[in-house]
Amino acid sequence: MEYILSHPFEILKMTGEHLLLVGVSTAIATLVGIPLGVFLTRRPAWSRWVLGAANVIQTIPSLALFGFLIPLPLLGGIGARTAVVALILYALLPIIRNTHAGIASVDPAIREAGVGMGMTDWQLLTRVDLPLALGIIMTGLRLATVISVGVATIAAAIGAGGLGMYIFRGVSMVDDQLILAGALPAALLALAADFLLGLLGRAVTRKPLLCMKLLAAGALAALAAGGAFLLASGGEAREARPIVIGSKNFTEQSILGELLAQRLERAGFKVDRRLYLGGTLICHNALVAGQIDAYVEYTGTAYTAILKRTPVSDARRVYDDLQKSYLEGFGVRLTRPLGFNNTFAIMVRGGDARRLGVKTISDAVAHARRWRAAFGVEFLEREDGYRGLAAAYGLDFAEPPKVMDLGLTYRALADGKVDLIAGDATNGLVSALDLFILEDDLGYFPPYEAVPFVRADALAGHAGLQEAIDSLGGVVSDETMQRLNYAVDGERRDLREVVGEFLDGLGR
Amino acid sequence: MGKGDFAVELEDVGFVLGNGKRLLDGVSLRLPAGETLVLIGRSGSGKTTLLKSINALLRPTSGAIRVLGRDLADWDPIRLRRQVGYVIQETGLFPHFTVEANVGLVPRLLGWDEGRIRARVQELLRLVGLDPDLFGARRPGQLSGGQRQRVGVARALAADPPLLLMDEPFGALDPVTRAELQEEFRLLRDRLRKSIVFVTHDIREALALGDRIGLMSGGRLLRVSAAGDFFQTDEPEVAAYRKVFA
């Protein structure tokens, strides 16, 4: 609650963004869904296909749907427009289905009386079908709205803003306060929408004709607002275009995104931040589609996850291969590596390392028979994880390694529950808990160097951009990255401040 | 239409469903203008199908139908239905319309101005024995069954149609209300001299209201007779009705 109480205006603004996303998308879904539902009652042969398609869309996980939409022209991209498109797709099913079911539930005798009196189909629809089905249609609208409030939190993954920003940041920083700052207003929003539409629904059964007119007017107004909104967000890209910086949705990535952004701002560029985008795939798609101009990627990730190559331990070769493939395939250039290597790191307690004089993994092999180890699931499963490591170094422990949540292994090591873990080289806890990273002296782990990936056309179009980004080459060591991560995650300090101080210290 | 014209003419009308089921079979009849023809028959005998064929709610598969002097094929069904009053059981009232809106429906569809509609609705409600000031603003749900049926008749008469189709209009009423409405209907009929096709399965109602009675069975029109002559035959189906009547 403290965060909510101390940032009331920011939360109000985010709630407003959220409401806009939900309102615009639900209005458009209503204007599309009700006519479509009506159409199905007139052409029953179509209903199986249309309802089936809407059903399928609703089963697509939202993050996947966003992923599909990003590369599409016009509908896709990064930002509110794509989110609105996805929200419309999700809201369609309940609206179409309830319109269809509502009209189907009208007493056939009443419809026949209407036809027998000489009503045209349009008159039957507007004076009999829709007014009598309105209660059920309103229930569908209510359902669609509540679903949208929930799904819209995920829209933050593609830079659409809204309350999801808090949730994503909160999850990445393991900060309950932040998660609540997003989840609580979202829940209240859902309840309020449900309540208000419920009231409207009851009013509807009393004065259906009046409510129909109001509803149509409301939806049209929202559509007009939405149209203006979409045009505005589309037009934005054509004006003197700022450089758009993206990042994935965890703390280290947001620090690196902010680092790029502030460095460019200090060099006089106008910057647009799109931090906390979903995962690797969303960032990559956005970069290739030109929705963002740059983000920081890890060479090993690009090599295996994007190019689908088998991991290689030669850092130079990986970098050169990527440079060539990305330029030819995607029109993207790699600038100078930032300096640190975010790979799996084999760690022991600092005290043990000093006492035993252990510096490398090879040094540790002799002691390992007396040690216990704990690893995250991923490291135990992956081909380039524990099995390969054990084979490469001839490692053998006192007992089979324990499986544990990766985040908990650091604490377990520091507390002496285990003696060796495979962690994240740049995790802020490494220095905070006095852990020691053993050198991978046989070069077993593939490199995960952090490198800004930048669109070639952005580099060509902005004089001085390449120099500004290259000036960050080599300035972030493993230890520096650990420190920055800890400042944000451990000390809960403000991201912009931490990055600003770091750049001040560099004198850049 | 002068005297001697027919409001409805059917010639050898047949209605066969896709699955081969015969709803109507060789039906021919003529309804002189201003007369009331009551169709009587058991459930499923085809009387409602015949009625709905007259205002083009159903399309028979063979034969010819002329309504108000014109072939059905030449009628725009929407325009036809606005000139043919249609009364069905009380469920046919629109539950979301007031009594006034229900009665004024067809005039409104025809584009009359509101003042004329209002005057006509008041006139009709009085004609069927309902006080417009008392009942005009109510919904059908706030009326008794008999009152609803009066509204249904008023609605069918609203645009002063020369032809009325009535499908068991009093079927759902209690016997006392039913007898009252039948009596009122008879007075109304004599006053307005509309052409009427009236469907019922109640022989007493048929004898009381019809100028002529048509007996239907299995999709066939077995016999059309003057109401007074209905029992003057050896037809076994008529014998069955004689038994219930006695």
Distance, CA of B130 to CA of B154 (rounded, Å): 10
Residue B156 φ then ψ, to 5°: -65, -30
Distance, CA of A90 to CA of A82 (rounded, Å): 13
Does any CB of chain B come closer than 8 Å to the CB of residue A119?
Answer: yes
Closest CA to A367 of A382, A357, A380, A379: A357
Give contacts of A128 with chain B, Cβ < 8 Å: 94
Give contacts of A209 with chain B, Cβ < 8 Å: 96
pTM for the complete prediction?
0.70
The yes/no answer on whether domain A2-235 falls in CATH 3.40.470.10 is no
A133: closest chain B residue by CA: B96
Point out the residue among B88, B89, B109 whose CB comes nearest to the CB of A119. B109
Say whether A344-437 and A240-340+450-506 share the same fold.
yes
Closest CA to B124 of B152, B92, B93, B88: B152
Q: At what angle do helices A80-104 and A44-59 cross, to 10 degrees?
A: 140
Q: How much is the pLDDT for A229?
A: 64
- What is the radius of gyration, based on Cα positions, of chain A? 28
pLDDT band at B3 (very low <50, low <70, confident <90, very high): very low
Spell out where A228-386 has E strands: 243-246, 271-274, 294-298, 332-334, 344-349, 373-375
pLDDT band at B1 (very low <50, low <70, confident <90, very high): very low
Q: How much is the pLDDT for A221?
A: 79
Q: What is the pLDDT of residues B74-84, one digit of tens each?
A: 999 999 999 99
Distance, CA of A486 to CA of A488 (rounded, Å): 5
Q: A240-340+450-506 belongs to which CATH class? A: alpha beta
Does A120 sit within 8 Å of B78, measured CB to CB? yes
Distance, CA of B155 to CA of B98 (rounded, Å): 12
Note the Cα A52 to chain centre separation in Å.
28
Return mean pLDDT, chain B. 89
Does any CB of chain B come closer than 8 Å to the CB of residue A110?
Answer: yes
| Number of Cβ atoms within 10 Å of the Cβ of A370 | 9
Distance, CA of A58 to CA of A91 (rounded, Å): 8
Distance, CA of A276 to CA of A250 (rounded, Å): 7
Give contacts of B105 with chain A, Cβ < 8 Å: 117
Give contacts of A110 with chain B, Cβ < 8 Å: 91-95
| Number of Cβ atoms within 10 Å of the Cβ of B125 | 22
Q: How much is the pLDDT for B233?
A: 83
Q: What order do you get walking across the sheet with A243-246 strand by strand?
A: A271-274, A243-246, A294-298, A450-455, A332-334
Q: How much is the pLDDT for A236?
A: 45
Q: How much is the pLDDT for A256?
A: 95
Point out the residue among A110, A118, A120 whose CB comes nearest to the CB of B94. A110
Q: At what angle do helices A386-393 and A361-368 cross, to 10 degrees?
A: 90
Does any CB of chain B come closer than 8 Å to the CB of residue A108?
Answer: no
Q: Which two tokens stand for residue B115?
A: 């003042």
Closest CA to A435 of A445, A448, A420, A451: A420
Does B88 sit within 8 Å of A117, measured CB to CB? no
Residue A118 φ then ψ, to 5°: 100, 30
The residue among A105, A115, A117 with the most chain B CBs within 10 A of its CB, best to mutate, is A117
State the smallest CA–CA distance between residue A105 and chain B in angstroms.
14
Q: How much is the pLDDT for A172?
A: 67
| Number of Cβ atoms within 10 Å of the Cβ of B109 | 20
Q: How much is the pLDDT for A175?
A: 73
Dihedral of alpha carbons A76, A81, A83, A87, sign: negative
Q: What does pLDDT average to in each consecutive run of 10 residues of chain A (508 residues)?
A: 77 87 90 92 88 87 79 73 88 93 91 91 91 90 92 83 83 76 91 88 73 76 71 50 88 93 93 85 87 93 86 89 94 94 91 93 92 86 80 90 82 90 86 89 89 94 91 92 89 90 85
Return the ∠ at Cα A361 (arms to A357 and A366), rounded to 5°: 65
Superfamily name with CATH number, domain A344-437: Osmoprotection protein (prox); domain 2 (3.40.190.120)
- In chain B, residues 54-113 whose CB comes closer than 8 Å to chain A: 55, 57, 78-82, 86, 88-89, 91-96, 105-106, 109
Of the listed ranges A334-348, A368-382, B93-107, B120-134, the least confidently predicted one is A368-382
State percent of chain B over pLDDT 90. 54
Distance, CA of B100 to CA of B91 (rounded, Å): 17
* CB of B140 closer than 8 Å to CB of B148: yes
* CB of B80 closer than 8 Å to CB of A117: no
Q: What is the pLDDT of residues B36-45, one digit of tens each?
A: 999 999 888 9
Name A77's Cβ contacts closer than 8 Å, sequence gap at least 6: A70, A286, A289, A291
Residue B213 φ then ψ, to 5°: -125, 130
Point out the residue among B82, B95, B96 whose CB comes nearest to the CB of A118. B82
State the smallest CA–CA distance between residue B229 and chain A in angstroms.
33
Give contacts of A116 with chain B, Cβ < 8 Å: 52, 55, 57, 81, 86, 88, 92, 165
A113: closest chain B residue by CA: B92
Q: How much is the pLDDT for A174?
A: 66
* CB of B201 closer than 8 Å to CB of B43: yes
CA distances from B158 to B37, B83, B88, B125 (A): 21, 10, 15, 10
Domain boundaries, chain A: 2-235, 240-340+450-506, 344-437
Name B137's Cβ contacts closer than 8 Å, sequence gap at least 6: B98, B99, B100
Does A132 sit within 8 Å of B96, measured CB to CB? yes
Give contacts of A118 with chain B, Cβ < 8 Å: 78-82, 106, 109
| Number of Cβ atoms within 10 Å of the Cβ of B62 | 13
Does any CB of chain B come closer than 8 Å to the CB of residue A128?
Answer: yes
Strand partners, A281: none
A347 in helix, strand or coil? Answer: strand
Give contacts of B86 with chain A, Cβ < 8 Å: 113, 116-117
Give contacts of A112 with chain B, Cβ < 8 Å: 57, 88, 92
